[in-house]
Amino acid sequence: MIIKGIRLINFRNYSSMSASFGSGVNILVGKNAQGKTNLLEAIYMCSTGRSFRTLRDKEIISFGKKEAYIGAELSIGELEKFTEIKLESDKPKRIRMNKVELKSYKELNTGLKVVVFFPDDLKLVKEGPGNRRNYLDSSISQLKPVYHHNLSRYYKALIQRNNLLKSRRPLSELSELLEVFDVQLAKLGTLISMEREQYIKRIKKEARDIHFQITSGKEELDIKYNTNVPEGDSLLVIEGKYLDQLRRGRAKDIEIGSTSLGPHRDDFSPSINGKDLRIFGSQGQQRTLVLTLKLSEVKILKKETGYYPVLLLDDVYSELDEDRRGFLTGLFSETQTFITVTDAVETDSLKAFDKTIFHVREGYLYDGNKTWREVNGD
């Protein structure tokens, strides 16, 4: 699967830009704040319908403009697809697939899958559990779009329940209202927790082999899923136990003003040779783990779809040492890859690959063979 070309209008700092991409390695060279990450964001939206940087679409629209547009030509195996996304400051986003408008981005199924690797991913191990939950949620949503829908519904119900708890009204007055949200949270929370647990099992299987190879057999990786959602033999059994615990914990939740049970408190703990990486891992081990997870994600998507996903690497290539780069570049002959760098020298090791180099400057692209005007369609 590849993205053949893209058209952006009033998207972040791109007022009007069109570009065609190579099927191999596409290198975006430019100083900071020129638009490199913005282009990766647009590509990501063509896959998921949403941004990885903000929940507010109006932040994506160029300053002083009322709407933005993304149009992308995709090639998924033998199929050619054309995706269009229109963002308006005062209306929900509109998405068309091959000229047919979708009711919601939840219906978006372009077939395009992406794996994103950002500098902040290198903090995945040491920083709080929220980062690790976000990683799980993003990865699972690509495999199962309905997961993201359930997650959104869960957090909406959670916010409403927490607002009730913070009202500090007596339990006798809140029980009936809390019951409505508790039923929703138990049902959705059970689905979310089960999906996360299944994904952890799946990625652990892939990651252990990859990590063993990267470390030349010196490190054995394990990943454990940590949740306070009750266990059970079936979805209905877990849901019933979950609801019962929510009911019994209402007095405590009113006291603290928040919901103490649920997947919003989940985490996963990676360990190397029995030692918790979150506590004892060196910086090198942390980076190796993140690389392992990303490579595992690629393998899972390949097995699930039959195609390699598109790789989006934002300023992380220079953060990896030569050995770790080697494992990453091992995928480049199989995948379409987008790499952002501040200096083309950083990619000297990619001379053997089929690559296209773009220079990015203030929302314009330049490929070295054409003028700015020819590349960007102005």
Q: Would you list the domain boundaries of the chain?
A: 1-113+308-378, 123-306
- Looking at domain 1-113+308-378, its CATH superfamily turns out to be P-loop containing nucleotide triphosphate hydrolases (3.40.50.300)
| Class level of CATH domain 123-306 | mainly alpha
C-alpha span between 325 and 8 (Å, rounded): 31
Instruction: Report the range out of 104-113, 283-292, 343-352 with the highest average pLDDT.
Output: 283-292
Residue 15 — very low, low, confident or very high, per pLDDT cuts 50/70/90?
A: very high
Neighbouring C-alpha atoms within 13 Å toward the C-beta of 263? 30
Enter the pTM of the model. Answer: 0.85
Q: Return the H-helix or E-strand segment holding 275.
A: strand 275-276
Alpha-carbon span 178 to 150, nearest angstrom: 19
Q: By three-state DSSP, how is residue 214 classified?
A: helix
Average pLDDT, the chain: 89
Average of per-residue pLDDT across 58-81: 92
| Amino acid letter for position 190 | T
d(C-alpha 42, C-alpha 50), whole Å: 9
Most confidently predicted of 119-128, 243-252, 366-375 = 243-252
Confidence of residue 373 (pLDDT cuts 50, 70, 90): very low
Residue type, 92: P
The pLDDT value recorded for residue 349 is: 72
Mean pLDDT, residues 152-168 taken together: 94
Phi, psi of 330 (to 5 degrees): -60, -20
What's the whole-number mean pLDDT along residues 174-186?
Answer: 94
Q: What is the C-alpha to C-alpha distance for residues 191 and 150, in angstroms, rounded to an integer?
A: 8
Higher pLDDT, residue 268 or 121? 268
Give me the pLDDT at residue 243, please.
Answer: 96
Residue 269: which residues within 8 A CB-CB, separation 6 or more?
A: 223, 224, 226, 276, 277, 278
Task: Map tokens 């490190």 to a residue.
Answer: 219
Supply 334's token pair: 């199989």
